[in-house]
Structure 1
């Protein structure tokens, strides 16, 4: 529902589904979509799916784009999200236009005002509209169910927090390999989350409760504040 708008008012968009929740994006579906698009006579193919390695003959995107090129159709593909390590760019066949994601004007900033008047900035997409008031702020480790779960509670892992100590409060959590701290806090009555991570700050995450993600420098400011007052 709705209207898609862009720089070319007369452009028409044809969409081809190649990815599935149960099985991912298979080579046969990708190649079938390329064939369909070529047959339909499109002018440009845009595919935002990561490609394979150096062997273009085994990469369905490189193969499909090569066939499209032979028909005079340019393919634009994503560079991948695995940077900035060496050799992490995907879709680098010489007949592709490889496009990197931009970090300009794409951050969703969210501000948290502490009780001492200081404000800290994090990133995150939140569809919630919390009331403009102060909430008690606690660290996950300080609201653990027991001393045995205190270490895991730092990460706000499921079944490690005491619901009675979390209810109505903002909970400061460390990001672990298991995502979902915001859902855990929301599920036991918390008001929201602040999550510390030195990674994943280039793209704003979507939270299930009012939340934001901050780096370790901002995290130190929050930790010092928590420790300085009740």
Structure 2
């Protein structure tokens, strides 16, 4: 069983500050956190790293491993031994941690958008499925979260989106199969996992105040 940990950050700025969150993380994360121009994106990145720190602690792994996150040429983060994936959207942050195989997670809030702006990201077959659906917006997000999760699991780039083949329960990239598993946490959001091995998943909600505890470190 693999757990997905989800935090909903409070939208009020009076609850915590960026500095309060960062003091619980190693300095190596501060520079990357400050690269984000959007405040919510920056806070989401920090919250994701705090979730990762807590996951390390809960699994009996030294939280000093946060200093050893490596990045692929395309920016995919991982540890040498453990895989993880983080996604955030509109004040939610989600983490899956601890797989021995490659994994990708994506959450997206369903918003009204101009679909025409995104047709270049899909194959002709996928785009036809979207525009011919009874609810084109729902169908768009059905494809989009799967493509994003698969992109993360495969470790490829946005330019490769059209090479990612998406089906009901699995996706393909360069003849390699990845399995999809949906998860539910908010009626306004879609959530999906793409993974090299098919395993059951469960969702747990984490209060952000628990991530500010000074106690979970070695």
For the criterion TM > 0.5, the same-fold answer is no
Larger relative helix fraction: 2
Indicate the structure (1 or 2) with the bigger Cα radius of gyration: 1
Structure having the higher strand fraction is 2
Provide the TM-score with structure 2 as the length reference. 0.24
Whose RCO is larger (CA < 8 A, sep 6+)? 2
